[in-house]
Structure 1
């Protein structure tokens, strides 16, 4: 999905193949970085993998889907980054669904203490017939680890896609997480970030572009369990035709999580009279000495801004495109890799 990006390793699974391609570059492999399929990792790293697979990752709303994933699990990736590895190039994980009706990948990623890593996870399909995908992903950042995680979904417009990811951040771990959702007929995301260690920090960003009769349902959970933890979330959607977006965001500050800072914002652009966006931010605080806020907006493009651009010689379509790009820029500008930022911007412009 990012042809101009120099990669430190790749994982590529097409349909439900039992032998996906997996490889870390020589430099990272020499430092102990492991990129493999999950079934192989169960045998080669049982002490690390088995306890994670035995967890239930999802809440009640996703429990049936997780049981289905467990029952029909085929393929999936495993990443292990030993302590102290600082990678200058990203790792890419691609799941391509073309000829199979159902896909149930499960992924496990562990970044060791003090390590730094960039991960790109892409779900794609060009199929023009109904398909179903139920994917589960587990990301663990050990003490002092830093990670940038990018999730892109460009599945066919007849695909129903469920994606659940649970992220656990230990002491002083830092996560920057960006989701870009463009495809599918029905897309449902459940993103859970568990800040268990003191000083852990997460910055969560999301972009949704909907058209036709696409339906996006996104749920996020910022769970503060450690002291002096920080989370900041910004999700934005732009919807046209009859597209619909539902966002439910939950911030929980537990009793022990003193000196927490937690923020959440969801903003939605409606580009047609029949597009619809619903937003429900929820905040529950069980302790004192915290800073928390949340908010949501839903509305059309600013007519005065459109008029101004059109008086400067831009067409209505060009003006709308410029305003939408500007609306999304606060997220795109935070992406650390210029090549990734350019690739995502290109995808967004194509969708617009």
Structure 2
């Protein structure tokens, strides 16, 4: 069924309104809420909801994206005045809105970092165009997230141009990531980039326990999705479900224990390697004694069930001696 096209200009002049819905973002190190994405849902003069994606698409192609965004930022700024928060609100804006003086003024007048502007990678803009805009916006205290990362063709170019504080991995990459090595490798790669480039990585659209645990294992800093909470009206007492917090803390403890074990194993390896080198450097040691030293050190380090040394001969491989079996 075809849907009616919204006349954005008429909507702007007829008491334009948005309903606000809030979805929490969780620190995957603890399960604590560190911010909210604000989802803006336009309604008509009779307070009937309009189709969100269609509305914002029409606002863009009809040339009213900045005017709509000006209303959104104004409404959220007013919300912040009545609800002083200790964590930021993330809002989606059209890239062109970053140059609007009114929007810059409203963002600048709010507490530093209270509003994080999300600009989508799907936008039809390029690095050489947006880079000076982003520089000006950052100089005025703006905080930026690159949204939908991984869906466009020039993601790395935009990453360099925007130099965001946050990067949000698109739901299409997170969905069933535990089942696809390519997705896991991509998430891990962006996680490593976050360490070097200084942004925080957000996994968007986590909907299952398996997706959550995979993101934790791959070093993602922040999570968002239906597995934690659906968007809803403002509730200052909201927190992640207890089972989610438990899963996050349990997995982090497992990773911590694993890291400690790896460190102990590395120390053991260095000790045995040092002793082995001393044995091999002994000028009085016979070839047989050197071979036994190599075998003993390898056996202690790898702890196999059994191990055999073989010698290459003209007739093939011949066993020299073994440990662990006859």
Shared fold by TM > 0.5?
no
* Structure holding more helix per residue: 2
TM-score, normalised relative to structure 2? 0.30
Higher RCO, 1 or 2 (CA under 8 Å, sep at least 6)? 2
* Structure holding more strand per residue: 1
